[in-house]
Structure 1
Amino acid sequence: MPSDAVLYQAAALCLTYPDDDFRARLPLLREAAPQLREFVDHAALTPARDLAAHYVQVFDAENRHSLYLSRWHDGDTLRRGMSLVRFKDLYRAHGLEFTGEELPDFLPAVLEFTSRTGNLDLLAEHRAALDQLRSRLTDFGTPYASVLDAVRATLPAGT
Structure 2
Amino acid sequence: MSEHDLRTTHMVASVLLGYPDERLHGGLDVLRAAVDGLPQGEPRRRLSAFLTHAAATGPAELAAHYVATFDLQRRCCPYLTYYAYGDTRKRGAALLRFKHALRAAGFELADGELPDHLAVVCELSARGAPGPALRLMSEHRAGLEVLRAALEEERSPYADVVAAVLDTLPPPTGRQREAAARLLAEGPPAEAVGLEPYAMDGVSR
TM-score bin (small chain):
over 0.9
| Structure 2 counterpart SS, 1:6 | helix
AA in 2 matched with 1:37: S
- Give per-residue Cα distances to partners, 1:25-68, cap 9 Å, x unaligned: 11111120241110011001001111111111111334110000
Partner Cα separation in structure 1 for residue 171 and residue 144 of structure 2: 14
- Name the residue aligned to 2:28: 26
Partner Cα separation in structure 2 for residue 7 and residue 123 of structure 1: 14
AA in 2 matched with 1:96: F
Q: 1:158 aligns with which of 156, 161, 172?
A: 172
Cα distance, 1:96 vs structure 2: 3.1
AA in 2 matched with 1:58: T
Partner Cα separation in structure 2 for residue 21 and residue 62 of structure 1: 24
Partner Cα separation in structure 2 for residue 96 and residue 50 of structure 1: 31
Partner Cα separation in structure 2 for residue 100 and residue 134 of structure 1: 28
Moved over 6 A (4+): none
Gaps of 5+ in 1: none
How well do the aligned residues superpose, as a CA RMSD in angstroms? 1.6
Q: 2:80 aligns with which of 69, 80, 101?
A: 69
Gaps of 5+ in 2: 37-43, 174-205
AA in 2 matched with 1:133: L
Query: TM-score, structure 2 length as denominator?
Result: 0.73
Q: Percent same amino acid at aligned positions? A: 42
Partner Cα separation in structure 2 for residue 131 and residue 62 of structure 1: 16
AA in 2 matched with 1:143: P
Cα distance, 1:17 vs structure 2: 0.7
Cα distance, 1:126 vs structure 2: 1.1
Residue 25 of structure 2 corresponds to residue 13 of structure 1: no
- Name the residue aligned to 2:3: 2
Partner Cα separation in structure 2 for residue 92 and residue 19 of structure 1: 26
